[in-house]
Structure 1
């Protein structure tokens, strides 16, 4: 069976930066550690006045196509995943295709285009759609372009304000991929939840504590479901485990739960028995509350063990490096986590070809998906082509007052004129509105 997976990836961050420790925390009169230690975040990315979900997605896609030497005829479908869409009819993929057609010979008139919505899991679902399209033999030898693009903004003063972010991830899904081959096996955890939603409003309504619980519950269900088709998982069976990362602090919780689950009835549980005892078994307790208390006590001990810390530092922490510096990108977050891990491996000289990743995607509302990926032989060349760190270093550092004005400028409910902070060059930019109130764009040399 021909391998199908992600052949290439490009990332585009918003050009503005809000430093949480140096700028946000002092303005809020709060301890910077609330953000750097508690949430695990250092900074957030924001779009400049001429940037939005279309420009970020189109710029990531153009760089990917240029680097791979692609033309429109090579692309058979363009799927955009976003929860920041500004039109309830016309998909963002058509805007992005229009931008790209302005700079390439040829067009995407025979490419299928769509827009996926299921909160942050939508980009993984779009990758699944592309995978299935190729597997079904409907691609005619062409590849799929999947783009995750979002501006994750919250109302000023909202508890989620510190986790904001903006950026896009473009992925090329194709046969014989250079980056990762995607497994046939998948696991799902899904339920009707109201932990995070945007009912015809720009800024989300969030129940923070419930959202964390739902995230962890659906992730557990997805892992258990994955194991029914792929077999038992083991912590040492994966080089990295990228999770959806609304903020790194949530991933710390998910990782601990996952480690406990994967080590149950294994050599690792046996090795740790003398140090912290064996995991509680429900049959040993009279009621659920007593069992849950015992589980929490066990996990408090587990996270302090050298065995767990070593595994976490090797398998989880490298996936969080990029997210710490950019905040939540909604649909792109888990794909940023994958890129972060692979970039770390390349920089440290780690050999990864043939190694496996376990990818945990999640979207509020709520659904989680687990699937495995096998790192392909060409991964190092692909991941070293990313210029993401250079993009981060070039961001404009906002003052708190400037941040407020940028936030207002991207608030659809307000009319604000704001001069750009950076100068566009070699990129697509937002230019205004057309005759039917559509957003318009052009390429700036």
Structure 2
């Protein structure tokens, strides 16, 4: 019995910042951002969007009918940008998606890795319950602060996946290897909305854990680099995937090395124009690879390297299924990216600062709601502000 990804979708808000503009405003050479880091544009998150709204807006593309919603037995919501210290983002999302009450809904957190844990839990559940489906949402906002070293790697968005025994995109193979280490490379204190990071240490751990898992994977499976069509990497910035892949390219010929670098470029394309979305990053990379690369077909094996600072990582493979192109064709990611409103650096800074909402200030509710109206398509979920310290969500008319 095959279990895998039946559907996959992506959502990011409708505002963007050009990295050349940011570099110029910060007194940096644009090439440092566009080539050194590998980012061209990043999504800017308005104050009427958060991880719940983005997750709902991504998942709504998969749940188009009452029958689709009724088929969901479990909702797993992966995020390190939770909206409440107690209540799961999954509970807010369940209500906004119109899912029935007789399901399980829970939030998972471990930096950027939690989306993969959710995916594997979904696979295990469906394996035991072949007639059930699980909705996985990986939604995050990367915030490092204005005029900080990490500013260029901000961004946000959500990837939603429907897991079932009808894997129209890919089968999740039973070949995972994983590793967990207590590392001090990235964290966000409970009293801060800004992440703290040791970038050099995080890069070293990323590369080290990839090699640990790659060697374990080859030993466990007997598979080697030529057995793969391509790879999707966790991309906090697009250059990170290159740092991992280059470590194993000497296992193949120079011709094959050039081929895998081409596949890497295809897998980086969407992330280059969105920025970091933490738990969803590797799955946006997967969508980019399957959409932008050429010559893929059913039966091809794709590697997936998921990493979360702090640190946890997993390496596994997917096998593409017949008709996966049709599923990806329904997702007009490029159209969504092109339709975003480009902000000046000054406008971006104002939007960034506007996220600091006080849950005791009900007077902000109206302002946030009015900001959303007219800027979202009908049916899109948005954050409408606070009422008695409680988050309110609405759907644009």
- 2:375 aligned with 1:423, yes or no? yes
Unaligned runs of 5+ in 2: none
2:146 is paired with a residue whose SS is coil
Cα deviations by residue, 1:143-186 (Å, 9 ceiling, x for unpaired)? 10000111111121221100100111110011130001011111
- 2:174 aligned with 1:184, yes or no? yes
1:247 is paired with a residue whose SS is coil
Cα deviations by residue, 1:53-73 (Å, 9 ceiling, x for unpaired)? 11111111111111x774432
1:3 is paired with a residue whose SS is coil
In 2, the alpha carbon distance for the partners of 1:114 and 1:311 equals 37
Among residues 67, 70, 86, which one is paired with 1:89 in the alignment? 86
Q: Which has the higher helix share?
A: 1
Change in CA separation of 1:412 and 1:434 when aligned onto 2, cut-off 3 Å: closer
In 2, the alpha carbon distance for the partners of 1:173 and 1:120 equals 20
Match of 2:306 in 1: 361
In 2, the alpha carbon distance for the partners of 1:351 and 1:27 equals 41
Among residues 324, 338, 347, which one is paired with 1:379 in the alignment? 324
In 1, the alpha carbon distance for the partners of 2:306 and 2:68 equals 30
- How many residues matched? 388
Cα deviations by residue, 1:370-395 (Å, 9 ceiling, x for unpaired)? 00100010201100000211111110
Cα deviations by residue, 1:195-253 (Å, 9 ceiling, x for unpaired)? 0001212111101110100111111112222223212422x221110010011111111
Change in CA separation of 1:80 and 1:311 when aligned onto 2, cut-off 3 Å: same
Match of 1:109 in 2: 101
* Equivalent residues of 1:186, 1:229 under 8 A apart: no
Q: CA RMSD in A?
A: 1.9
2:172 is paired with a residue whose SS is strand
Match of 2:292 in 1: 344
Tell me the CA shift for residue 413 of structure 1: 7.1
In 2, the alpha carbon distance for the partners of 1:54 and 1:311 equals 36
Match of 1:319 in 2: 267
Among residues 192, 208, 221, which one is paired with 2:212 in the alignment? 221
Match of 1:125 in 2: 117
In 2, the alpha carbon distance for the partners of 1:337 and 1:84 equals 20
- TM-score normalised by structure 2 residue count: 0.93
User: How does 1:19-418 map onto structure 2 within 5 Å?
Assistant: 19-21=18-20, 23-66=21-64, 70-101=67-98, 107-137=99-129, 141-200=131-190, 201-234=192-225, 236-260=226-250, 263=251, 268=252, 307-313=256-262, 315-345=263-293, 348=294, 350-412=295-357
Tell me the CA shift for residue 412 of structure 1: 4.9
1:64 is paired with a residue whose SS is coil
| Runs of 4 or more above 4 Å deviation | 412-419
2:28 is paired with a residue whose SS is coil
Change in CA separation of 1:155 and 1:100 when aligned onto 2, cut-off 3 Å: same
Match of 1:438 in 2: 390
Larger radius of gyration: 1
Change in CA separation of 1:70 and 1:337 when aligned onto 2, cut-off 3 Å: farther
- TM-score normalised by structure 1 residue count: 0.83
